[in-house]
Amino acid sequence: MTVNSIIEIKNVYKFFGDLAALSDVSLDIKAGEKVVIIGPSGSGKSTLLRSINRLEEISRGSIVVDGQDVHDKSSNINNIRQELGMVFQSFNLFPHKTVLENLTMAPIKLKGIDKEEAKAIAVDLLKKVGINEKANVYPSKLSGGQQQRVAIARALAMNPKIMLFDEPTSALDPEMIGEVLDVMKNLAVEGMTMVVVTHEMGFAREVADRIVFMDDGRIIACEPPETFFTCTDHPRLKQFLSQIL
Amino acid sequence: MKDKPVKIEITDGAGIPAKNDAGLISAWWISFIGAISIITYLVVTKPDPYKDILMFVPDGILVTFQVTIFSIIGASIIGLFTGLGRISKNRFFNLIASTYVEVVRGIPLLVQLFYIYYALGRVLLVPDMLSAIIAMSVCYGAYMGEVFRAGIDSIDNGQTEAARSLGFDKNQTMFLVILPQAWRTILPPVGNEFIALLKDSSLVSILAVADILRRGREFAAESFQYFETYTMIALLYLLITLILSKGVSHMEDRLNHYDR
Ligand SMILES: Nc1ncnc2c1ncn2[C@@H]1O[C@H](COP(=O)(O)OP(=O)(O)OP(=O)(O)O)[C@@H](O)[C@H]1O
Ligand SMILES: [Mg+2]
Q: How far, in Å, from the CA of A243 to the mean position of ligand 1?
A: 21
Sorted by where each begins, the domain ranges of chain B are: 57-228
For ligand 1, atom 11: residue with the closest CA: A21
Mean pLDDT of B195-203: 90
Nearest C-alpha neighbor of A24 from the set A8, A7, A10? A10
Question: Measured between alpha carbons, how far is A161 from A85 in angstroms, rounded to an integer?
Answer: 8
Spatial contact of B144 and B75, defined as CB atoms under 8 Å apart: yes
pTM: predicted TM-score of the whole model, two decimal places: 0.84
Contact A78 B176 (CB under 8 A): no
Q: For chain A, give the number of residues.
A: 245
- DSSP class of A131: -
Beta bridge partners of A36: A196, A211
Which of A15, A38, A41 most suits a substitution to test ligand 1, by most atoms within 8 Å of the C-beta?
A41
3 state SS of A122: helix
Instruction: Give burial (CB, 10 Å; 0-12/13-18/19+) of B5.
Output: exposed
- pLDDT score, position A43: 96
| Ligand 1 residue neighbourhood (C-beta within 6 Å) | A 16, 19, 21, 39, 41-47
Q: Which CATH number fits domain B57-228: 1.20.1050.10, 2.60.120.1060, 1.10.3720.10, 2.40.37.20?
A: 1.10.3720.10
Q: How far, in Å, from the CA of A44 to the mean position of ligand 2?
A: 7
Spatial contact of B137 and B194, defined as CB atoms under 8 Å apart: no
Q: Does the pLDDT of residue B18 top 80, yes or no?
A: no
Interface confidence: ipTM more than 0.90: yes
Residue-wise pLDDT for B47-70, tens only, equals: 888 898 888 888 889 999 999 999
Q: Where are the alpha helices (DSSP H) in chain A?
A: 45-52, 77-82, 99-111, 115-128, 144-156, 174-189, 201-207, 225-228, 235-244
- What does the angle CA B86 – CA B91 – CA B93 come to, to the nearest 5 degrees? 50
Residue-wise pLDDT for A13-54, tens only, equals: 999 999 999 999 999 999 999 999 999 999 999 999 999 999
Nearest C-alpha neighbor of B162 from the set A60, A42, A105, A31? A105
Q: Does the pLDDT of residue A2 top 50, yes or no?
A: no
